[in-house]
Amino acid sequence: MSQNNIGIIKDNCCGCGICEAVCSAEAIIEKRSVRNSIVYSVKDSCINCGLCLRVCPVNTKEFNKKNDYFYRAISKNEQILNKSSSGGVAYETSKKFIEKGFCVYSAIWSVPNQRVEHRRIKELGDLKSIQGSKYVQSVIDKSTYLEIKKDVVEGRVLFIGCPCQVAAVRNLVNDSKNLYTVDLLCHGVPSPNLLSEQISYLNIKSIRNISFRNRLSFTLSIESCEQIYEVDGYQNPYYSLFLNYSSFRESCYKCIFACEKRVGDITIGDYVENNKGYSCLIPNSEKGTEIVKDLFDSMRLEKRNILDLKGNESYYYPTKKKKEVEKFTRLYEKYGLILAYYCTFYKLAIKKFILRVVGEKTYSHVKSLFKKQS
């Protein structure tokens, strides 16, 4: 008998967990894969019904037509802007939905579970939790998927997530007319297990919030009840691995969603113009156009040619797998996150240490002297 289940997906699995949420036979199991990421497989109790394959994002066939323009977008509210990584599109879009009595699902830092996960947001006061980039794969558990399915029947729902997560939710609700989706321009995501390993190494307990950006600055900030840990991203092993594209899920390096034809009604991401940070906002469907029209009163939107996004590679193709990925992976299996990072990127680590000690100006001066002598 042919294998009619997600066992055939193997390392193409994006770890969204939608298969586990819909399996009535409870035959889906989690397995650890490379770089401590989670992939899903099946137990012997699988009845081979094929439902898991039908909802699996990897099998997505329907994409929106590619657009030839986008909007340079930035919130008119300075307070919102100061707490956002780029232009504040996610916040302003979510605010519109909640003001109309609808609900939003987005990634937040969960204090009770000490992880990044998708949660239902119904109150304006809770919207601050969605602000800021979260450079880790968010967890969407079974109860959250079932809650989304229920809410879509009762009214409009806005779902914000990585394209694979958007595709999973669309498949779950049969692309309901009540579902509005925002997909993120995504280079790739590390496993939450790697972030947990970094936090454990830092010995930070009871984290209240975690942030990976301060506007255009890649700064890691972890706020707990007792302390605030803040460091340049390149000086932290977990974050530096992310910035070097070396810790992503295996599926991220061959992502089918990293292309001009998108799955979300709108696509959002970073956009820099004249050294100032904005969001790019791409309407991909009629629903997307509807969302954009609703934002003109709260955001400054200016149309741009899509070719201006050429610097954002994840809009065109998946992140290329560097040779350092395999080296880090091999060392990680033996030594864990911290030591594997320093063994793989020791030159970068030494450079960042020297920069921190002597400063960028002195470092550049000494480097130029060496070049002249050679």
Residue 372's pLDDT band (boundaries 50, 70, 90)? Answer: low
* Alpha-carbon dihedral sign for residues 272, 253, 12, 327: negative
pLDDT at 360 over 60: yes
Mean pLDDT of 160-175: 96
Q: What is the pLDDT of residue 371?
A: 64
pLDDT digits (tens, 9 = 90+) for 239-268: 999 999 999 999 999 999 999 999 999 999
% of the chain residues with pLDDT over 90:
86
Q: Say how far residue 180 (Cα) sits from the centre of its chain.
A: 18
Mean pLDDT of 14-36: 96
* Mean residue pLDDT across the chain: 93
Rounded-to-integer distance, Cα 82 and Cα 274, Å? 18
Q: What is the pLDDT of residue 7?
A: 92
Mean pLDDT of 35-50: 95
Q: Which comes out higher in pLDDT, residue 87 or 354? A: 87
% of the chain residues with pLDDT over 70:
95
Residue 348's pLDDT band (boundaries 50, 70, 90)? Answer: confident
Q: Which comes out higher in pLDDT, residue 97 or 360? A: 97
pLDDT at 1 over 50: no
pLDDT at 364 over 80: no
Mean pLDDT of 270-298: 96
pLDDT at 349 over 90: no
User: Buried b vs exposed e over 288-303: b needs ≥16 C-beta within 10 Å?
Assistant: beebbeebeebbebee
Rounded-to-integer distance, Cα 184 and Cα 231, Å? 25
Question: Would you say 184 and 262 are in contact if contact means Cβ atoms under 8 Å apart?
Answer: no
pLDDT digits (tens, 9 = 90+) for 312-346: 999 999 999 999 999 999 999 999 999 999 999 98
104: tokens are 């939003």
The closest of 121, 271, 251, 242 to 184, measured between CA atoms, is 271
